[in-house]
Structure 1
Amino acid sequence: MKNKAISNPKAAALGLQHLLAMYSGSVLVPILIGASLHFTSEQMTYLVSIDIFMCGIATALQVFGNKYFGIKLPAVLGCAVQAVAPLIMIGQKFNFQTMYGAIIVAGLFVFLIGGAFSKLRFLFPPLVTGSLITVIGLSLIPVAFQNLGGGSTTAKDFGNMTNLMVGAFTVLLILAINVWGKGFLHSIAILVGLIAGTVLGGFLGLVSFQPVIEASWFHVPTPFYFGVPQFEWSSIVTMILISMTSMVESTGVFFALGDIVGRKIEADDLKRGYRAEGLAVMLGGLFNTFPYTTFSQNVGLVQLSGIKTRKPVIFSAIFLVILGLLPKIGALATIIPAPVLGGAMLVMFGMVAVQGIRMLQQVDFDNDKNLLVAAISIGLGLGVTVQPHIVQFLPKTIQLLFGSGILMTSLSAVLLNWLFNSPRRTQEMSVDEGLNERDSDK
Structure 2
Amino acid sequence: MSENPPAATPDTPETGTGTRPDPAAEAAGPHPVDQMLPPLKLLGAGLQHVAAMYAGVVAPPLVVGIGVGLSTPEIAFLMSASLFTSGIATLLQTLGFWKVGARLPFVNGVSFAGVAPMLAIAKAESPEDALPVIYGAVIVAGVFGFLLAPYFCKLIRFFPPVVTGTVITLIGVSLLPVAFNWAQGGNRQAPDYGSLTSIGLASATLLVTVVLRRLLRGFLKQISILLGLVAGTLIALVLGVADFSGVSDADLIGFPTPFHFGAPQFAAAAIVSMCIVMLVSMTESTADVLALGEIVERPADEKTLAAALRADGLGTAISPLFNGFAASAFAQNVGLVAITKVRSRFVVAAAGVILILLGLCPVLASVVALIPQPVLGGVGIVLFGTVAASGIQTLTGAALERGDNVLIVAISLGAGIIPIAAPGFYHAFPESARIVLDSGISTGCAVAVLLNLAFNHLGAEPADAPELAPDTPAHH
Give 1:5 deviation, angstroms. 6.2
Query: 2:451 corresponds to which residue?
Result: 416
Query: 1:37 corresponds to which residue?
Result: 68
Q: What amino acid maps onto 2:70 in structure 1?
A: F
- Is 2:36–2:346's contact at 8 Å kept on the other side of the alignment? no
Give 1:427 deviation, angstroms. 5.1
Counterpart among 29, 36, 40 of residue 9 in structure 1: 40
CA displacement, residues 328-351 of structure 1 (integer Å, 9 cap, x when unaligned)? 111111111111010011110001
Asked if residue 222 in structure 1 is aligned to residue 253 in structure 2, the reply is: no
Asked if residue 99 in structure 1 is aligned to residue 107 in structure 2, the reply is: no
CA displacement, residues 27-59 of structure 1 (integer Å, 9 cap, x when unaligned)? 001001111111112321210111101111000
Give 1:155 deviation, angstroms. 2.6
Write the distance in 2 (CA, Å) between the matches of 1:105 and 1:117.
17
Query: 2:372 corresponds to which residue?
Result: 337
Once the two structures are superposed, the pairs formed by residues 46-195 of structure 1 within 5 Å of their partners are: 46-94=77-125, 95-195=130-230
CA displacement, residues 105-157 of structure 1 (integer Å, 9 cap, x when unaligned)? 00000000000111121111111111111111111111111111122233322
Higher helix share: 1
Q: What amino acid maps onto 1:367 in structure 2?
A: R
Query: 1:426 corresponds to which residue?
Result: 460
Asked if residue 300 in structure 1 is aligned to residue 331 in structure 2, the reply is: no
Write the distance in 2 (CA, Å) between the matches of 1:337 and 1:221.
26
CA displacement, residues 3-28 of structure 1 (integer Å, 9 cap, x when unaligned)? 37631101110000000000011100
SS at match of 1:6: coil
Q: What amino acid maps onto 1:334 in structure 2?
A: A
SS at match of 1:78: strand
Q: Give structure 1 stretches of 5+ with no counterpart.
A: 430-442
Write the distance in 2 (CA, Å) between the matches of 1:158 and 1:258.
38
What stretches of structure 1 move > 4 A for 4+ residues in a row? none
Q: What amino acid maps onto 2:451 in structure 1?
A: L
Counterpart among 321, 324, 329 of residue 286 in structure 1: 321
Counterpart among 224, 246, 266 of residue 301 in structure 2: 266
Write the distance in 2 (CA, Å) between the matches of 1:103 and 1:428.
39
Write the distance in 1 (CA, Å) between the matches of 2:201 and 2:413.
32
Q: What amino acid maps onto 2:44 in structure 1?
A: A
Q: What amino acid maps onto 1:363 in structure 2?
A: A
Write the distance in 2 (CA, Å) between the matches of 1:400 and 1:160.
32
In structure 2, the CA distance between the partners of 1:5 and 1:99, relative to structure 1 (3 Å rule), is closer
Q: What amino acid maps onto 1:28 in structure 2?
A: A
Write the distance in 2 (CA, Å) between the matches of 1:59 and 1:112.
19
In structure 2, the CA distance between the partners of 1:303 and 1:372, relative to structure 1 (3 Å rule), is same
More deviation, 37-46/2-11: 2-11
Instruction: Give aligned pairs, total.
Output: 428
Asked if residue 373 in structure 1 is aligned to residue 408 in structure 2, the reply is: yes
Write the distance in 2 (CA, Å) between the matches of 1:395 and 1:143.
25
Write the distance in 2 (CA, Å) between the matches of 1:6 and 1:403.
40
Give 1:311 deviation, angstroms. 2.1
Q: What amino acid maps onto 1:224 in structure 2?
A: F
- Is 2:282–2:309's contact at 8 Å kept on the other side of the alignment? yes
Write the distance in 2 (CA, Å) between the matches of 1:319 and 1:291.
19
CA displacement, residues 361-398 of structure 1 (integer Å, 9 cap, x when unaligned)? 11001111111111101111111222131111111111
Write the distance in 2 (CA, Å) between the matches of 1:258 and 1:187.
19
TM-score by length of 2: 0.87
In structure 2, the CA distance between the partners of 1:223 and 1:5, relative to structure 1 (3 Å rule), is closer
CA displacement, residues 158-201 of structure 1 (integer Å, 9 cap, x when unaligned)? 22222122111110111112222110111001000000100110
In structure 2, the CA distance between the partners of 1:156 and 1:62, relative to structure 1 (3 Å rule), is same
**Percent of aligned pairs sharing the same letter:** 38
Give 1:428 deviation, angstroms. 12
Write the distance in 2 (CA, Å) between the matches of 1:385 and 1:15.
31
TM-score by length of 1: 0.94
